[in-house]
Structure 1
Amino acid sequence: MNKEEFIQDYIANRLSVEEKARAEKLLQSDAELQELYEMHQEMTAAFKLSNDKALKKRLQTLDDNREEEVIPLSPQKNNFTVIKRIAVAAVFIVGAFFAINQFTGNGDVFDAYFEICPNTYLPVTRGTTSQDAQFEAFTLYESNAFQSAEIAFEKLLKNEENSSIRFYYAMSLMNQEKYELALNELNSLTNTTFEYQAESLWYSALMHLKNKNSATAKEQLQKLQKLNSDYKQKEIMAILEKL
Structure 2
Amino acid sequence: MDELREKYLQGKMSEAEKKTFEKGLSPQEKQELAAELGIRAGLESSFRSELRNKVAGFEAQGKRVRRLNPAYIGIAASLFLVASFMLYFKGDQESLFDQYYEVHPNFELTTVRGNEDPTTREKAYAAYDIGDFSGALAAFNQLDSMQNADYFFRGVSLIQLTEYKKALADFDVVINQKDKDYEVAATWYTALIHLKSENKEFAIPLLKTLSEGESEFAEISQKLLAQL
TM over 0.5: yes
Find the counterpart in structure 1 of residue 196 from structure 2. 210
Matched ranges for 1:12-161 at <5 A: 38-44=2-8, 47=18, 58=33, 61-62=36-37, 93=40, 96-97=41-42, 100=44, 105-156=92-143, 159-161=144-146
Letter in 2 for 1:146: F
Q: CA RMSD in A?
A: 3.1
* Aligned-residue offset at 1:238: 1.4
Report if the CA contact (8 A) 1:221-1:236 is conserved: yes
The separation in 2 between residues aligned to 1:212 and 1:168, in whole angstroms, is: 23
Q: For residue 118 of structure 1, give the secondary structure of its aligned residue in structure 2.
A: coil
Letter in 1 for 2:189: Y
Find the counterpart in structure 2 of residue 166 from structure 1. 151
Report if the CA contact (8 A) 2:109-2:122 is conserved: yes
Q: Residue 193 of structure 1 is aligned with which of 155, 178, 197?
A: 178
Alignment coverage as a number of residue pairs: 170
* Aligned-residue offset at 1:105: 0.9
* Aligned-residue offset at 1:44: 4.1
TM-score by length of 2: 0.63
Find the counterpart in structure 2 of residue 73 from structure 1. none
The separation in 1 between residues aligned to 2:123 and 2:116, in whole angstroms, is: 9
Unaligned runs of 5+ residues in structure 2 are 12-17, 24-28, 46-87
Report if the CA contact (8 A) 1:49-1:100 is conserved: no
